Amino acid sequence: MMESTYPTTRDIARWWKDVLKCPKHVIAPMVDASELPWRMLSRRYGADLCFTPMIHSKNFVKDQKYRNENINACKCLEDRPLIMQFCGNDPKVLTEAAIFAKDYCDGIDINLGCPQKIAKTGHYGAFLQDEWKLIENIVKSINQNVGIPISCKIRVFEDVEKTVRYAKMIEAAGCWMLTVHGRTIAQKGVMTGLANWNIIKIVRESVSIPVLANGNIQYLSDVQKCIDATGVNGVMSAEGSLHNPALFAGIQPNVWQVALEYIHLVKQFPCPMSYSRGHLFKIFHHVLVMEDNYDLREALGKGKSIECFEDVCNQLKERYEPYFHAKEWSPKNPLILNLPFPPWICQPYERPPPSVHPNYNKSRNFEQENQTKIYNTDVVVGENTISKKRLKRMNRKGLTCLPTRIRDDRKLEVCLQPDCSNIAGAKCDRKLCRICCSTKCKTEIVDCVGHRIHMQSQKDIGSPEKMEIVDV
Protein backbone atom coordinates (compact mmCIF):
# COMPACT_ATOMS: atom_id res chain seq x y z
CA MET A 1 0.00 0.00 0.00
CA MET A 2 1.33 3.43 -0.95
CA GLU A 3 1.64 6.11 1.68
CA SER A 4 -0.66 9.10 1.55
CA THR A 5 0.85 11.62 -0.86
CA TYR A 6 -0.23 15.09 -1.88
CA PRO A 7 1.47 17.06 -4.66
CA THR A 8 3.84 19.83 -3.66
CA THR A 9 4.19 23.03 -5.62
CA ARG A 10 7.50 21.71 -6.96
CA ASP A 11 5.90 18.42 -8.05
CA ILE A 12 3.17 20.24 -9.97
CA ALA A 13 5.63 22.68 -11.58
CA ARG A 14 7.91 19.83 -12.69
CA TRP A 15 4.96 17.88 -14.15
CA TRP A 16 3.61 20.96 -15.94
CA LYS A 17 6.99 21.92 -17.39
CA ASP A 18 8.85 18.64 -17.95
CA VAL A 19 6.01 16.22 -18.73
CA LEU A 20 3.22 18.32 -20.23
CA LYS A 21 5.71 20.81 -21.75
CA CYS A 22 3.76 23.91 -20.64
CA PRO A 23 0.80 23.32 -22.98
CA LYS A 24 -0.91 26.42 -24.35
CA HIS A 25 -3.15 24.73 -26.94
CA VAL A 26 -5.21 21.81 -25.62
CA ILE A 27 -7.72 19.49 -27.31
CA ALA A 28 -10.67 18.78 -25.03
CA PRO A 29 -11.99 15.35 -24.06
CA MET A 30 -14.89 14.74 -26.45
CA VAL A 31 -17.15 11.69 -26.47
CA ASP A 32 -16.64 9.73 -29.73
CA ALA A 33 -14.54 12.61 -31.07
CA SER A 34 -11.08 12.97 -29.46
CA GLU A 35 -10.00 9.49 -30.57
CA LEU A 36 -6.44 8.69 -31.69
CA PRO A 37 -6.68 9.74 -35.41
CA TRP A 38 -8.22 13.07 -34.45
CA ARG A 39 -5.61 13.65 -31.75
CA MET A 40 -2.83 12.95 -34.26
CA LEU A 41 -4.39 15.37 -36.75
CA SER A 42 -4.73 18.02 -34.04
CA ARG A 43 -1.10 17.63 -32.99
CA ARG A 44 -0.09 18.08 -36.63
CA TYR A 45 -1.77 21.48 -36.48
CA GLY A 46 -0.39 22.84 -33.22
CA ALA A 47 -2.10 21.03 -30.31
CA ASP A 48 0.31 20.73 -27.36
CA LEU A 49 -1.78 18.42 -25.16
CA CYS A 50 -4.69 16.10 -25.89
CA PHE A 51 -7.32 14.36 -23.78
CA THR A 52 -8.89 11.02 -24.61
CA PRO A 53 -12.65 10.71 -25.04
CA MET A 54 -14.51 10.19 -21.76
CA ILE A 55 -14.04 6.62 -20.50
CA HIS A 56 -16.57 4.97 -18.18
CA SER A 57 -14.56 3.88 -15.16
CA LYS A 58 -16.87 0.99 -14.21
CA ASN A 59 -16.79 -0.50 -17.71
CA PHE A 60 -13.04 0.06 -17.89
CA VAL A 61 -12.48 -1.92 -14.69
CA LYS A 62 -14.95 -4.76 -15.30
CA ASP A 63 -14.87 -5.23 -19.09
CA GLN A 64 -11.49 -6.40 -20.36
CA LYS A 65 -12.41 -5.86 -24.03
CA TYR A 66 -13.49 -2.27 -23.35
CA ARG A 67 -10.34 -1.70 -21.31
CA ASN A 68 -8.05 -3.10 -23.99
CA GLU A 69 -9.71 -1.01 -26.71
CA ASN A 70 -9.08 2.19 -24.75
CA ILE A 71 -5.56 1.27 -23.67
CA ASN A 72 -4.52 0.24 -27.19
CA ALA A 73 -5.62 3.68 -28.39
CA CYS A 74 -3.14 5.25 -25.96
CA LYS A 75 0.00 3.32 -26.92
CA CYS A 76 1.14 5.56 -29.79
CA LEU A 77 4.42 7.16 -28.71
CA GLU A 78 3.76 10.20 -30.92
CA ASP A 79 0.51 10.84 -29.06
CA ARG A 80 2.07 12.39 -25.98
CA PRO A 81 1.59 14.19 -23.69
CA LEU A 82 -1.80 12.59 -23.15
CA ILE A 83 -4.37 12.67 -20.35
CA MET A 84 -7.02 9.96 -20.00
CA GLN A 85 -10.41 11.19 -18.79
CA PHE A 86 -12.70 9.00 -16.70
CA CYS A 87 -16.25 9.47 -15.48
CA GLY A 88 -17.84 7.79 -12.48
CA ASN A 89 -19.04 8.31 -8.92
CA ASP A 90 -17.29 5.55 -6.97
CA PRO A 91 -13.84 6.44 -5.50
CA LYS A 92 -12.73 2.79 -5.42
CA VAL A 93 -13.75 2.08 -9.02
CA LEU A 94 -12.11 5.28 -10.29
CA THR A 95 -8.96 4.38 -8.35
CA GLU A 96 -8.86 0.91 -9.91
CA ALA A 97 -9.34 2.48 -13.35
CA ALA A 98 -6.43 4.84 -12.68
CA ILE A 99 -4.23 1.89 -11.67
CA PHE A 100 -4.95 0.15 -14.96
CA ALA A 101 -4.36 3.33 -16.99
CA LYS A 102 -1.38 4.96 -15.28
CA ASP A 103 1.29 3.38 -17.51
CA TYR A 104 -0.34 4.59 -20.72
CA CYS A 105 -0.82 8.31 -20.08
CA ASP A 106 0.66 11.36 -18.36
CA GLY A 107 -2.29 12.11 -16.12
CA ILE A 108 -5.82 11.10 -15.12
CA ASP A 109 -8.70 13.55 -15.54
CA ILE A 110 -11.97 13.29 -13.62
CA ASN A 111 -15.01 14.39 -15.62
CA LEU A 112 -16.96 16.83 -13.46
CA GLY A 113 -18.27 18.91 -16.35
CA CYS A 114 -20.53 16.82 -18.61
CA PRO A 115 -24.05 18.38 -18.55
CA GLN A 116 -25.81 15.88 -20.82
CA LYS A 117 -28.82 13.78 -19.84
CA ILE A 118 -26.79 10.56 -19.97
CA ALA A 119 -24.52 12.00 -17.26
CA LYS A 120 -27.56 12.74 -15.14
CA THR A 121 -28.82 9.18 -15.61
CA GLY A 122 -25.40 7.71 -14.80
CA HIS A 123 -24.83 10.20 -11.98
CA TYR A 124 -21.48 11.57 -13.08
CA GLY A 125 -20.01 14.65 -14.75
CA ALA A 126 -21.49 18.02 -13.78
CA PHE A 127 -24.24 16.26 -11.82
CA LEU A 128 -21.73 15.58 -9.05
CA GLN A 129 -20.94 19.26 -8.56
CA ASP A 130 -23.06 19.55 -5.42
CA GLU A 131 -21.54 16.44 -3.82
CA TRP A 132 -18.30 17.99 -2.63
CA LYS A 133 -17.44 15.27 -0.12
CA LEU A 134 -17.71 12.59 -2.81
CA ILE A 135 -15.51 14.57 -5.20
CA GLU A 136 -12.98 15.14 -2.43
CA ASN A 137 -12.91 11.40 -1.69
CA ILE A 138 -12.41 10.55 -5.37
CA VAL A 139 -9.40 12.84 -5.74
CA LYS A 140 -7.92 11.80 -2.38
CA SER A 141 -8.35 8.09 -3.11
CA ILE A 142 -6.46 8.33 -6.40
CA ASN A 143 -3.77 10.44 -4.73
CA GLN A 144 -3.26 7.92 -1.95
CA ASN A 145 -3.25 4.79 -4.10
CA VAL A 146 -1.98 5.70 -7.57
CA GLY A 147 1.25 7.48 -8.41
CA ILE A 148 -0.08 9.66 -11.23
CA PRO A 149 -1.11 13.34 -11.44
CA ILE A 150 -4.84 14.11 -11.34
CA SER A 151 -6.73 16.88 -13.11
CA CYS A 152 -10.40 17.81 -12.94
CA LYS A 153 -12.66 19.45 -15.53
CA ILE A 154 -15.49 21.46 -14.00
CA ARG A 155 -18.30 23.84 -14.89
CA VAL A 156 -18.99 27.04 -13.01
CA PHE A 157 -21.89 27.89 -10.73
CA GLU A 158 -23.95 31.02 -11.20
CA ASP A 159 -22.67 32.02 -7.75
CA VAL A 160 -19.07 33.18 -8.21
CA GLU A 161 -18.12 32.66 -4.55
CA LYS A 162 -19.44 29.11 -4.64
CA THR A 163 -17.40 28.42 -7.76
CA VAL A 164 -14.25 29.66 -6.02
CA ARG A 165 -14.89 27.51 -2.95
CA TYR A 166 -15.53 24.54 -5.25
CA ALA A 167 -12.22 25.03 -7.05
CA LYS A 168 -10.30 25.46 -3.80
CA MET A 169 -11.82 22.27 -2.38
CA ILE A 170 -10.70 20.30 -5.43
CA GLU A 171 -7.21 21.80 -5.20
CA ALA A 172 -6.96 20.97 -1.48
CA ALA A 173 -7.97 17.35 -2.19
CA GLY A 174 -4.84 16.93 -4.32
CA CYS A 175 -5.73 18.06 -7.85
CA TRP A 176 -2.70 18.97 -9.98
CA MET A 177 -4.48 20.88 -12.75
CA LEU A 178 -7.96 22.37 -13.17
CA THR A 179 -9.90 22.94 -16.39
CA VAL A 180 -12.70 25.47 -15.99
CA HIS A 181 -15.50 25.51 -18.54
CA GLY A 182 -17.01 28.97 -18.18
CA ARG A 183 -20.60 27.78 -18.55
CA THR A 184 -23.11 26.49 -16.02
CA ILE A 185 -24.73 23.07 -16.10
CA ALA A 186 -27.85 24.64 -17.67
CA GLN A 187 -25.91 26.09 -20.62
CA LYS A 188 -26.13 23.30 -23.19
CA GLY A 189 -27.75 22.63 -26.56
CA VAL A 190 -29.71 25.61 -27.86
CA MET A 191 -29.22 27.34 -24.50
CA THR A 192 -25.42 27.21 -24.66
CA GLY A 193 -24.68 30.93 -24.94
CA LEU A 194 -21.26 32.42 -24.21
CA ALA A 195 -18.79 31.16 -21.62
CA ASN A 196 -18.04 33.53 -18.74
CA TRP A 197 -14.35 34.40 -18.81
CA ASN A 198 -14.69 36.65 -15.76
CA ILE A 199 -15.46 33.68 -13.49
CA ILE A 200 -12.53 31.77 -14.97
CA LYS A 201 -10.27 34.74 -14.14
CA ILE A 202 -11.44 34.80 -10.54
CA VAL A 203 -10.88 31.04 -10.19
CA ARG A 204 -7.40 31.38 -11.68
CA GLU A 205 -6.52 34.06 -9.14
CA SER A 206 -7.86 31.91 -6.28
CA VAL A 207 -5.85 28.71 -6.84
CA SER A 208 -2.15 28.00 -7.19
CA ILE A 209 -2.33 25.02 -9.59
CA PRO A 210 -2.31 25.37 -13.42
CA VAL A 211 -5.69 26.32 -14.88
CA LEU A 212 -6.98 25.74 -18.40
CA ALA A 213 -9.87 27.80 -19.79
CA ASN A 214 -12.59 26.24 -21.93
CA GLY A 215 -15.21 28.13 -23.95
CA ASN A 216 -15.54 30.77 -26.72
CA ILE A 217 -12.48 29.63 -28.71
CA GLN A 218 -13.21 29.85 -32.45
CA TYR A 219 -10.00 31.30 -33.92
CA LEU A 220 -6.34 31.35 -32.89
CA SER A 221 -6.67 35.02 -31.95
CA ASP A 222 -9.25 34.01 -29.30
CA VAL A 223 -6.57 31.97 -27.52
CA GLN A 224 -4.44 34.99 -26.65
CA LYS A 225 -7.53 37.08 -25.90
CA CYS A 226 -8.62 34.44 -23.39
CA ILE A 227 -5.18 34.21 -21.77
CA ASP A 228 -4.95 38.01 -21.49
CA ALA A 229 -8.47 38.25 -20.05
CA THR A 230 -8.22 35.38 -17.55
CA GLY A 231 -4.52 34.83 -16.83
CA VAL A 232 -4.88 31.06 -17.38
CA ASN A 233 -1.95 28.82 -18.25
CA GLY A 234 -3.52 27.37 -21.39
CA VAL A 235 -6.70 27.20 -23.45
CA MET A 236 -8.81 24.15 -24.31
CA SER A 237 -10.93 23.87 -27.44
CA ALA A 238 -13.70 21.40 -28.26
CA GLU A 239 -16.30 22.45 -30.83
CA GLY A 240 -14.02 25.03 -32.45
CA SER A 241 -11.42 22.40 -33.24
CA LEU A 242 -14.05 20.01 -34.63
CA HIS A 243 -14.98 22.50 -37.36
CA ASN A 244 -11.38 23.55 -37.98
CA PRO A 245 -8.73 21.06 -36.81
CA ALA A 246 -6.07 23.60 -37.85
CA LEU A 247 -7.42 26.17 -35.39
CA PHE A 248 -4.28 26.18 -33.22
CA ALA A 249 -2.07 26.64 -36.29
CA GLY A 250 -3.88 29.85 -37.13
CA ILE A 251 -4.81 28.71 -40.64
CA GLN A 252 -8.09 27.85 -42.34
CA PRO A 253 -7.51 25.15 -44.95
CA ASN A 254 -10.10 23.92 -47.41
CA VAL A 255 -12.38 21.24 -46.03
CA TRP A 256 -11.38 18.41 -48.34
CA GLN A 257 -7.69 18.84 -47.48
CA VAL A 258 -8.08 18.23 -43.73
CA ALA A 259 -10.79 15.61 -44.35
CA LEU A 260 -8.47 13.56 -46.56
CA GLU A 261 -5.67 13.97 -44.01
CA TYR A 262 -7.98 12.66 -41.32
CA ILE A 263 -9.09 9.71 -43.47
CA HIS A 264 -5.45 8.81 -44.09
CA LEU A 265 -4.87 8.77 -40.31
CA VAL A 266 -7.99 6.63 -39.80
CA LYS A 267 -6.53 4.06 -42.21
CA GLN A 268 -3.34 4.13 -40.15
CA PHE A 269 -5.09 4.12 -36.75
CA PRO A 270 -8.53 2.47 -37.24
CA CYS A 271 -11.46 3.73 -35.20
CA PRO A 272 -15.26 3.19 -35.25
CA MET A 273 -16.92 4.46 -38.44
CA SER A 274 -19.41 6.49 -36.39
CA TYR A 275 -16.50 8.61 -35.11
CA SER A 276 -15.22 9.29 -38.62
CA ARG A 277 -18.69 10.04 -39.95
CA GLY A 278 -19.28 12.53 -37.13
CA HIS A 279 -16.01 14.33 -37.80
CA LEU A 280 -16.67 14.66 -41.51
CA PHE A 281 -20.16 16.05 -40.91
CA LYS A 282 -18.59 18.70 -38.66
CA ILE A 283 -15.85 19.61 -41.14
CA PHE A 284 -18.26 19.69 -44.10
CA HIS A 285 -21.11 21.37 -42.20
CA HIS A 286 -21.28 24.57 -44.24
CA VAL A 287 -21.12 22.87 -47.65
CA LEU A 288 -23.58 20.12 -46.75
CA VAL A 289 -26.36 22.58 -45.86
CA MET A 290 -26.38 23.69 -49.50
CA GLU A 291 -29.04 22.04 -51.68
CA ASP A 292 -26.47 21.31 -54.38
CA ASN A 293 -24.73 18.94 -51.96
CA TYR A 294 -27.69 17.07 -50.49
CA ASP A 295 -26.64 14.01 -52.47
CA LEU A 296 -23.22 14.03 -50.79
CA ARG A 297 -24.80 14.55 -47.40
CA GLU A 298 -26.93 11.46 -47.97
CA ALA A 299 -23.94 9.49 -49.24
CA LEU A 300 -21.96 10.43 -46.13
CA GLY A 301 -24.84 9.43 -43.88
CA LYS A 302 -25.32 6.05 -45.55
CA GLY A 303 -21.65 5.26 -46.24
CA LYS A 304 -20.57 1.86 -44.92
CA SER A 305 -16.80 2.10 -45.34
CA ILE A 306 -13.98 4.58 -45.03
CA GLU A 307 -13.62 4.34 -48.83
CA CYS A 308 -17.18 5.71 -49.17
CA PHE A 309 -16.20 8.66 -47.00
CA GLU A 310 -13.08 9.21 -49.07
CA ASP A 311 -15.18 9.26 -52.24
CA VAL A 312 -17.40 12.00 -50.74
CA CYS A 313 -14.27 14.04 -49.99
CA ASN A 314 -13.00 13.67 -53.54
CA GLN A 315 -16.38 14.67 -55.00
CA LEU A 316 -16.43 17.81 -52.86
CA LYS A 317 -12.92 18.58 -54.00
CA GLU A 318 -13.95 18.15 -57.62
CA ARG A 319 -16.94 20.47 -57.17
CA TYR A 320 -15.26 23.31 -55.30
CA GLU A 321 -11.55 23.25 -56.09
CA PRO A 322 -12.12 25.44 -59.20
CA TYR A 323 -13.73 28.09 -56.98
CA PHE A 324 -10.86 27.77 -54.53
CA HIS A 325 -8.56 28.80 -57.40
CA ALA A 326 -10.42 32.08 -58.03
CA LYS A 327 -13.33 30.92 -60.20
CA GLU A 328 -16.33 33.21 -59.59
CA TRP A 329 -18.97 31.75 -57.31
CA SER A 330 -22.43 33.09 -56.41
CA PRO A 331 -24.06 31.42 -53.40
CA LYS A 332 -27.84 31.06 -53.28
CA ASN A 333 -28.35 29.93 -49.68
CA PRO A 334 -28.80 32.94 -47.32
CA LEU A 335 -27.03 31.03 -44.54
CA ILE A 336 -23.94 30.82 -46.74
CA LEU A 337 -24.07 34.52 -47.64
CA ASN A 338 -23.55 35.45 -43.99
CA LEU A 339 -20.42 33.34 -43.54
CA PRO A 340 -17.13 35.23 -43.12
CA PHE A 341 -15.44 32.81 -45.54
CA PRO A 342 -16.57 30.63 -48.45
CA PRO A 343 -18.25 27.42 -47.23
CA TRP A 344 -15.41 25.20 -48.47
CA ILE A 345 -13.03 26.88 -46.00
CA CYS A 346 -12.74 25.47 -42.45
CA GLN A 347 -14.45 27.91 -40.11
CA PRO A 348 -16.41 27.81 -36.85
CA TYR A 349 -20.12 27.17 -36.55
CA GLU A 350 -21.59 30.09 -34.65
CA ARG A 351 -24.57 29.09 -32.56
CA PRO A 352 -27.41 31.63 -32.49
CA PRO A 353 -27.75 33.25 -29.07
CA PRO A 354 -30.37 31.62 -26.82
CA SER A 355 -32.48 34.80 -26.90
CA VAL A 356 -33.31 34.33 -30.59
CA HIS A 357 -34.20 30.67 -30.25
CA PRO A 358 -37.95 29.93 -30.40
CA ASN A 359 -37.72 27.87 -27.19
CA TYR A 360 -35.94 30.61 -25.22
CA ASN A 361 -38.98 31.45 -23.08
CA LYS A 362 -39.60 27.75 -22.49
CA SER A 363 -36.06 26.85 -21.44
CA ARG A 364 -37.12 25.60 -18.01
CA ASN A 365 -39.30 22.98 -19.65
CA PHE A 366 -36.89 22.34 -22.51
CA GLU A 367 -35.96 18.78 -21.57
CA GLN A 368 -39.60 17.81 -21.04
CA GLU A 369 -40.62 19.35 -24.37
CA ASN A 370 -37.73 17.67 -26.12
CA GLN A 371 -38.73 14.30 -24.64
CA THR A 372 -42.33 14.80 -25.81
CA LYS A 373 -41.05 15.74 -29.23
CA ILE A 374 -39.21 12.45 -29.52
CA TYR A 375 -42.30 10.34 -28.89
CA ASN A 376 -44.65 12.46 -30.99
CA THR A 377 -42.74 12.09 -34.26
CA ASP A 378 -43.82 8.57 -35.21
CA VAL A 379 -44.19 7.38 -38.79
CA VAL A 380 -46.48 4.64 -40.14
CA VAL A 381 -44.64 1.99 -42.18
CA GLY A 382 -47.00 -0.68 -43.50
CA GLU A 383 -49.03 -1.85 -40.51
CA ASN A 384 -46.46 -0.68 -37.96
CA THR A 385 -45.82 2.67 -36.32
CA ILE A 386 -42.16 3.45 -35.71
CA SER A 387 -40.18 6.49 -34.63
CA LYS A 388 -38.43 8.74 -37.12
CA LYS A 389 -35.16 7.86 -35.44
CA ARG A 390 -35.65 4.16 -36.20
CA LEU A 391 -36.80 4.96 -39.74
CA LYS A 392 -33.58 6.92 -40.29
CA ARG A 393 -31.56 3.96 -39.03
CA MET A 394 -33.48 1.63 -41.38
CA ASN A 395 -32.81 3.91 -44.36
CA ARG A 396 -29.11 3.97 -43.54
CA LYS A 397 -29.04 0.17 -43.57
CA GLY A 398 -31.07 0.00 -46.77
CA LEU A 399 -34.09 -1.68 -45.08
CA THR A 400 -37.57 -1.11 -46.52
CA CYS A 401 -39.57 -2.96 -43.88
CA LEU A 402 -39.34 -3.95 -40.26
CA PRO A 403 -37.68 -7.25 -39.29
CA THR A 404 -40.07 -10.20 -39.34
CA ARG A 405 -39.47 -10.93 -35.65
CA ILE A 406 -41.32 -8.25 -33.72
CA ARG A 407 -39.96 -7.92 -30.20
CA ASP A 408 -43.36 -6.99 -28.74
CA ASP A 409 -44.88 -10.34 -29.84
CA ARG A 410 -42.72 -12.50 -27.61
CA LYS A 411 -44.12 -14.05 -24.46
CA LEU A 412 -42.95 -12.15 -21.40
CA GLU A 413 -42.21 -14.10 -18.24
CA VAL A 414 -41.74 -12.76 -14.74
CA CYS A 415 -38.40 -13.27 -12.99
CA LEU A 416 -38.37 -16.49 -10.93
CA GLN A 417 -36.55 -14.83 -8.05
CA PRO A 418 -38.96 -14.50 -5.09
CA ASP A 419 -40.23 -10.96 -4.41
CA CYS A 420 -39.07 -9.75 -7.83
CA SER A 421 -41.62 -8.51 -10.36
CA ASN A 422 -39.21 -7.64 -13.19
CA ILE A 423 -39.44 -9.29 -16.60
CA ALA A 424 -37.09 -12.24 -17.03
CA GLY A 425 -34.48 -12.15 -19.78
CA ALA A 426 -35.71 -13.96 -22.91
CA LYS A 427 -32.36 -15.72 -23.32
CA CYS A 428 -31.57 -16.27 -19.64
CA ASP A 429 -31.36 -20.00 -18.82
CA ARG A 430 -32.30 -19.29 -15.19
CA LYS A 431 -35.36 -17.21 -16.18
CA LEU A 432 -34.16 -14.27 -14.09
CA CYS A 433 -34.13 -10.55 -14.74
CA ARG A 434 -30.75 -8.94 -15.34
CA ILE A 435 -30.40 -7.58 -11.79
CA CYS A 436 -31.16 -10.90 -10.08
CA CYS A 437 -29.08 -12.83 -12.60
CA SER A 438 -26.11 -10.53 -12.07
CA THR A 439 -26.35 -10.98 -8.29
CA LYS A 440 -26.52 -14.77 -8.68
CA CYS A 441 -23.58 -14.90 -11.07
CA LYS A 442 -21.43 -12.79 -8.76
CA THR A 443 -22.36 -14.88 -5.73
CA GLU A 444 -21.88 -18.29 -7.32
CA ILE A 445 -19.13 -17.23 -9.80
CA VAL A 446 -21.00 -18.52 -12.85
CA ASP A 447 -21.75 -17.20 -16.35
CA CYS A 448 -24.99 -16.22 -18.08
CA VAL A 449 -24.74 -16.23 -21.86
CA GLY A 450 -28.15 -14.64 -22.28
CA HIS A 451 -27.28 -11.60 -20.15
CA ARG A 452 -23.65 -11.60 -21.28
CA ILE A 453 -22.37 -11.90 -17.72
CA HIS A 454 -19.02 -13.69 -17.55
CA MET A 455 -17.97 -14.02 -13.92
CA GLN A 456 -16.52 -17.51 -14.20
CA SER A 457 -14.75 -16.73 -17.48
CA GLN A 458 -13.08 -13.68 -16.00
CA LYS A 459 -12.11 -15.36 -12.76
CA ASP A 460 -8.55 -15.98 -13.95
CA ILE A 461 -8.11 -12.57 -15.52
CA GLY A 462 -7.36 -11.02 -12.14
CA SER A 463 -7.79 -7.51 -10.86
CA PRO A 464 -5.47 -4.50 -10.97
CA GLU A 465 -2.25 -4.57 -9.01
CA LYS A 466 -2.68 -6.45 -5.77
CA MET A 467 -2.88 -3.47 -3.49
CA GLU A 468 -5.32 -2.31 -0.92
CA ILE A 469 -7.35 0.75 -1.78
CA VAL A 470 -7.61 3.15 1.10
CA ASP A 471 -11.00 4.50 2.10
CA VAL A 472 -10.99 8.25 2.62
Query: Cα separation of 174 and 141, whole Å?
Result: 10
Running DSSP on this structure, what letter comes out for residue 128? G
Q: Are 180 and 200 in contact (CB under 8 A)?
A: yes
Which string of DSSP letters, residue by residue, matches 68-117? HHHHHTT--TTS-SEEEEEE-S-HHHHHHHHHHHGGG-S-EEEEE---SH
Cβ atoms within 10 Å of 102's Cβ, excluding its own:
19
Q: Which stretches of 321-406 are assigned E, i.e. beta strand?
A: 378-381, 384-387
Active site residues: 114
In the chain, count of helices (H) and strands (E)?
Answer: 20, 13
Could you tell me how far CA 180 lies from the centroid of its own chain? 16
| CB proximity list for 391: less than 8 A, separation 6 or greater | 379, 381
CB 169 within 8 A of CB 131: no
SS3 412: coil
Q: At what angle do helices 273-283 and 294-302 cross, to 10 degrees?
A: 160
